[in-house]
Structure 1
Amino acid sequence: MAEFISEEFKSTAFLKEGKSKAQETFKTNYNLANGLINYIDESLPWNEERSKVTDLRVGLTKTAEVFARLTGKLTQRGFKDFGLEGALRKSIHEVENADFKYDKSDLLMLRRHEKDFFLRKDLKYQTEFNKTLIEFREKVSKTAQPAILDLITNYQKQFAEIVDMETKIGLTANDGLRGELQTVINQVKPQIEKLNRYVDTQSKTAISQSIWFLILIVVIQIISGVALAIYYSNQISKPIKQIKSAVLSLASGNYPDELVVDSTEEIGQTKDGFNQFVKRLQVATNFAETMGKGNLQLHYDDQFSNDVLARALINMQTKLKDADEQKARINWVNKGAAKFNDILKEDNASIEKLGDSILRFLVNYVEANQAALFIRESKERDLLVRISSYAYGKKKFIEQEIEVGQGVIGQAVLEGETIYLTDVPKNYISITSGLGESTPKAILIVPLKIRDQIMGILEIASFSVFEKHKIEFIEQISENIATMLSSRKSIELTNQLLAEAREKTEMLTQQEEEMRQNSEELLATQEEMTRQRQELEAELMELREQIQLQNK
């Protein structure tokens, strides 16, 4: 029912013919449940347990009634070109194609409020829609014809009708007809559990009584056989001894050989009944031993599958399968977490290479087909930059940057919550293979969040829907990816600052060396000038002495 309410009602077959696989399944299960209730009702004694069956029948009828009403409302609501949504789309197209001047941004804002309501099922978007439409009508009322204003009014009316229908259906799983259906189901579940416990108790009692009754029959047969042996000792002593030996063997905990039935009289019937009893015990024992060895896929022998002991063992097998599947999912998550931690230990890898390793691991481990990793950069603009991708076509590498708030990926940053799409538009993304391109069936967009700070976005596309435990696993490791990105950014910033400091240190050292060389050259020049001055002074002294000698 949940799949029908969320997706299957949108199918063209349902919208045109009012038929769907979910409806047929519900009808079949409803008829089976009614038949089972009638069978149980006929089998129960006339006591207080009859009231449980009556309450369960009323609850089942109520469930069918609410589901029928919900189906009718979904048919009225429609999808795309059908029902109320079809009428809404037609009314907005009439406004868009009308011959009058208007600001397209106002109409786009109306469409945005409309889409926000369909996506989030929040009545605040209806308020925003009405407010924006009133402002839009006031803007165009001065120049537009009355017929144009009627088209705008009709658009508002159609939107109000589909909002009212969504409210009746249920904006959440606990509202409207959806909530009423869930309430009825929650009321029926305890009744089913009570009746199941009662039937289980009665079954165990019946098994115990059957065993004692069978033992009593065997004992009676033995006693009768002994009595008859006195009279027919020469004719029936051998069959009696066979039965006795078989009973004693069974009493000692061993299965006796099958008794040979060579007559249709009482002794032959007793042998046949005893053989059937032993076969049932053998089948039940073998089934229990096989399950004990871990084989939960064994099929119970159809010849004995309808007796009470067989039903109890089959029910136990079902519960063990559920427990085994739960254990397998937990082991799957733990194994994936361990492998992912090994990837994060690649300290020397760049963010791009580490991102490639993470995407390759995730796509293969969750059995997806395509993935991309975006990191958030906030230098000049707030952008999401793709640093890694897996299995993307070459043309997808053109769009390397996405502004925050742009598209589904950009919107995921603003909301900070996982977005899971199963109705993927044809032009949104394609998965390329050797056979061509195809639109994925499901897309999972997970914000990489650490302490309410969005570090990036992880986008994964698949040809099949994501199971719940796989989505939870991806959300769990997204925190580790966010921590890794934050750490790597801090390391890169630190390395950048260290490189700049190292470069400045080398520059200062070089300048210091140049200054030292300049100082040594200046000192050598000063020494040369001093030497030349001393030589010049000596020459002057010689000239003075020569002049003095000449004057004398």
Structure 2
Amino acid sequence: MSFLKNISINQRIQLTVILLLLILFSAAAFSVSKFSTSRVNKSIETQASVYLNQLSALITEIEKQTGGGFNHIDYATLKPHFNQAAFYQTDFPFLIDNKGNYAIHLYKEGQKYPREKLNEIFTRRNGSLSYIDFIKGKEQEVRLFFKKVESIDYYIALPISLSEAHEDLSKNRNILILIIIASSIISVFVVRFTLRPVVNAIKRINESINKLSLGEAAKKIDYPNNDEVGQIANSLNNLIDGISRTTLFANEIGKNNLGAKFEPLGPNDRLGNSLINMRTNLMNAASESEKRKKEDEKRNWLNVGLAKFADILRQNNDNLQMLADTVTQNLLDYLNANQGALFVVNQDN
């Protein structure tokens, strides 16, 4: 069964349907054939019994008219009835005397009937037996129906070839086989037509999944039916949308747009939640960096100012008026102030 691994789902379904149909039709054909054969056999028994009873009644009636047992008058009267086939082409009746000789037969009059069959006929008196005989150059099964005619102590028999009796069944069997073949072919086309949308959808789903596995963008699946395949297609479409939104959000983060909106696919969306955590960490890092930058600017401003005014104090320390003007002017410039004043405390007076 290893070859099943290399065939598509469509081929598997078609193969399964064909096998099931063949099994179903074959079982039905076998049952119908058996039932029909049994019915035909019962019909043969009924018809043969009625035929032998009528022929026995005819012989008895003729014997009553002629009397004295079976004689040449009886023979002449009955011979035309034995020269006609009963139901089929080869089922000619015959008459056997109590010694086993053919009293009336189409072409064996005066000959002995086979001893093994004769003993069974004499023992049972009424009934049937089966044997194989050559008819029209072919080996065929023959059903021999026989009945004792009490009025003359003779036996009438009717051999019926089952092949001839079942000839119509054979024709019907051939027709049934053709119907099975035609039904199987039609079923294959119906299955192919029914499964085509499903198989095509599965192929598109497979292509999209392969692209996603390679990190490529995949197209959404358009499948209108709400069956199992439709549910798979909807889930895949949701996944494609989610990956598209996640990719867009990741690109915005890459552009340092930390305020971009994003909703994860669900509470257990590991990738989406990881991106949100990364954005939070980046925002915290940016905030800390801004704080450090401001503190550094303050320290630099303070250090530069101290160095600048220390230099001013060293240069003009011998002239108080000039020192005051220089300090005031540079202080206004450094503080970006519009005006200012410098008061000197006089502690001498």
What band does the TM-score fall into relative to the shorter chain? Answer: 0.3 to 0.5
- Larger RCO, structures 1/2 (Cα 8 Å, 6+ apart): 2
TM-score (norm 2): 0.36
TM-score (norm 1): 0.23
Instruction: Name the larger-Rg structure.
Output: 2
